[in-house]
Amino acid sequence: MLKLFSAFKKDRIWDFDGGIHPPEMKTQSSQTPLRQIPLPEQFIIPLKQHLGPEGEICVSVGDKVLRGQPLTRGKGRTLPVHAPTSGTVNAIRQHTTAHPSGLSELSIIIVPDGDDRWCERQTFTDYRAQSTDTLLAHLHQAGIAGLGGAGFPTAAKLQGGMRGIETLIINGAECEPYITADDRLMQECAEEIIQGVEILSFLLQPKRILIGIEDNKPEAISALRLALGKRSDMQLRVIPTKYPSGGAKQLTKILTGKEVPFGKHSAAIGVLMQNVGTAFAIKRAVIDGEPLTERVVTLTGEALRQPGNVWARLGTPVRHLLKQGGFNVSKQPMVVMGGPLMGFTLPSLDVPIVKISNCLLAPSHTEMEPVAEEQSCIRCSKCADACPAGLLPQQLYWFSRGQEHEKARNHHLFDCIECGACAYVCPSNIPLVQYYRQEKAEIRAIDEEAQRAAQAKVRFDAKQARLEREKAARELRHKQAAAGVSTTDKDAVQAALERVRRKQTAATEVGSPIEVIPDAQPDNSAAIAARAARKALAREKQAQQDTPAVDVPSAELDDPRKAAVAAALARVKARKAAQQSEVSPESTEEAATPAVSKVVAEPIAVVEAQEPEDPRKAAVAAAIARVKARKAAQQSATNTEEPVPSAAPDVVAEPVAVVEVQEPEDPRKAAVAAAIARVKARKAAQQSATNTEEPVPSAAPDVVAEPVAVVEVQEPEDPRKAAVAAAIARVKARKAAQQPATNTEEPVPSAVPDVVAEPVAVVEVREPEDPRKAAVAAAIARVKARKAAQASSYQEE
């Protein structure tokens, strides 16, 4: 009784709800054997041909590659892609790939060299001697993925089902119309498929292995039974033809009677499913050492003259495959990749074949129904009756149209296998699967954005927590440092401070004591005097370069201001002597030498300085005195036509008058005033040299030795009055000089002492209110004086 029950259970077949029975249309391609096709002009290998991220490129443009050589690195769930043939990497760029969206993906372009040489391959003929991890790693590096349509990495799928797998199902149903790739593979390569199943059995150690195949494939069924022989661990189950019995959940229900829970995989109920094409690729990778570089592709449709199944290298352009099937591109507007129910129209014939491409359908005009206009839903519920997943397609359609994402999710939109049964039976011609695909894509995009936001929040929270920890650690270190200061450290600090104080005290004792006076301004007189002394020394050096050295008593050089005034007087006298000697070089050659010697030997006047309140007043007074002295000298030079030998010693011996100048506060202004006086002296000397017709040898000593009048500078009240008085005095002096030069033809020897002895008027200058106005007035007076001098010279000519 138990044996009978076990036998009955062993061969029992279950059924699933829904499903349809469309025309099969498989005989067009299932009757011709598999064939190889020539290599195309170029291969286009997309980096992503599976579920998961793309790998890292490990080749460059211009590299030579061999068949089976990895083009990318595979880590985790990232599968590598391999070169389908030997050749050269021509480009790495974006290219349109086999996807309903028609978007471009990064691809590697390889130009074949025609040799089709393999790289070094690693084989595991005795795979049972290898560990499970070694075989799984080898499958991963070989790029093996599910060839039934999902493209899930096989090694990752096997790794997840290493524990608790009771049933291994090999899917050979191939239920969709037109597609016969698995059918033809089972007919011709049944033995290799069984070897691949044995490798899977070694890795998973399941309790039973079931091979499901539809009853519309009698040749494949016979080939599998022959390959199985007397194996008792594998069972071949022939199931009724019904679409979509090849779905993972549907075939699991048919063979085991179990349903996969919502949101979970079949491993949750102890079932793992692999496609027959995947089993064949596993055998080649492990025993033959060949990575996944080609697969079987069905070429079908009435638009092809030679339909069938071919071995297509991954990366082969669709256009090249269709030409091998006798396809006329100019007469056929549409090509479908996949079947008529789950496939999609290609945006271009230059898209490449990838790991999940199993069929190219090129229907004729008569084979295709005209595109019907989409109409409103009539709520007939035919879609719900045909849905193999037990969903409500009508509700999902409304939610998708209304952008109600949460409601669509709650109605199990992601349980839809996109089989197309609902769209096939819809009387309103509504492309329901198109709406579901678009809604899934939008929900995935929303979920990815939310995931990125959550990750950003986690990173932000982690950063804030880290900053708080660091802050707390710093505060703790500071507290510990403050509490951990020992008495020795404090003593060392105090000792250092005491040493600094001692050094400061010693430095203070060495220098002069500084008296601190509260609310007092700093006294910079010493710095000013030193700066004035330096300038006076510089001027003295310049004077020594221009004139012979003059002995000056050291007592008179104690004051830098007196030394500066004395040096200026010496330079003026030297220039006058030089100008007079240049007027008559022949007649004055002998007289110039003693005159210069007398000038050099003449003692420099002692300048007694009193402390004035304003240096400008002292400078103006000095300038007025020098101008008057020069005028007197001009008058004496004009009135004397013959030399006066005896005048020189008298005048030289005459002591130089003492000029009392109050000490200025600013030496720069005094220097400027002295320079102005020197310029005026030069002009007066030139005029006197022009007016004399005969040389006067004794003029130089007379002028140089002329005593300087004593000028007492009183404090002016108004600078304008002082300037006007000075200008009037100069004009009167010039007129007096012009009159004796015109009226007297003979020299007047007594003129010199008279002029010298003439007292200089005392100019009373009051305290100026503004020094700028006084300077302007003085400049105006000087200009007027020059004009008067020029007029007098014109009259003499």
Exposure letters 207-225 (e unless 16+ CB within 10 A, then b): eebbbbbbebbeebbebbe
Question: d(Cα 426, Cα 411) in Å, to the nearest integer?
Answer: 20
380 is in an annotated binding site: yes
Question: d(Cα 661, Cα 23) in Å, to the nearest integer?
Answer: 134
> Taking Cα atoms as reference points, which of 356, 354, 346, 353 lies closest to residue 324?
353
Within 10 Å of residue 12's Cβ, how many Cβ atoms?
A: 11
Helix and strand numbers, DSSP H then E, in the chain: 26, 18
Give the containing element (helix H, strand E) for 44.
strand 43-46
Three-state SS at 74: coil
SS3 content of the chain, % helix, strand, coil (to 5): 50, 10, 40
Question: Do 706 and 651 contact (CB within 8 A), yes or no?
Answer: yes
359 is in an annotated binding site: no
Question: d(Cα 348, Cα 612) in Å, to the nearest integer?
Answer: 107
Give the total residue count for the chain.
797
> Taking Cα atoms as reference points, which of 528, 539, 530, 593 lies closest to residue 566?
539
Question: Do 635 and 684 contact (CB within 8 A), yes or no?
Answer: no
> Taking Cα atoms as reference points, which of 298, 442, 357 lies closest to residue 98?
357
Q: Could you tell me which residues come within 8 angstroms of residue 210 by beta carbon, excluding any fewer than 6 positions away?
A: 167, 168, 169, 170, 234, 235, 237, 255, 256
Cβ-based burial of 392 (10 A; exposed 0-12, middle 13-18, buried ≥19):
middle
416 is in an annotated binding site: yes
Give the containing element (helix H, strand E) for 308.
strand 308-313
Tokens 């009055």, residue located? 721
377 is in an annotated binding site: yes
Q: Could you tell me which residues come within 8 angstroms of residue 565 by beta carbon, excluding any fewer than 6 positions away?
A: 607, 622, 659, 661, 674
Give the containing element (helix H, strand E) for 592.
helix 589-601
Question: d(Cα 540, Cα 570) in Å, to the nearest integer?
Answer: 10
Distances (CA, A) of 716 to 620, 721, 765: 11, 8, 3
Q: Could you tell me which residues come within 8 angstroms of residue 372 by beta carbon, excluding any fewer than 6 positions away?
A: 429
Three-state SS at 752: helix
Question: d(Cα 495, Cα 507) in Å, to the nearest integer?
Answer: 19
Give the containing element (helix H, strand E) for 73.
strand 72-73
> What six digits make up the tokens of 50?
């599976």
> Taking Cα atoms as reference points, which of 354, 204, 219, 222 lies closest to residue 279?
204
175 is in an annotated binding site: no
Three-state SS at 27: helix
Question: d(Cα 180, Cα 174) in Å, to the nearest integer?
Answer: 7
426 is in an annotated binding site: yes
Binding residue ranges for [4Fe-4S] cluster: 377, 380, 383, 387, 416, 419, 422, 426
Binding residue ranges: 377, 380, 383, 387, 416, 419, 422, 426
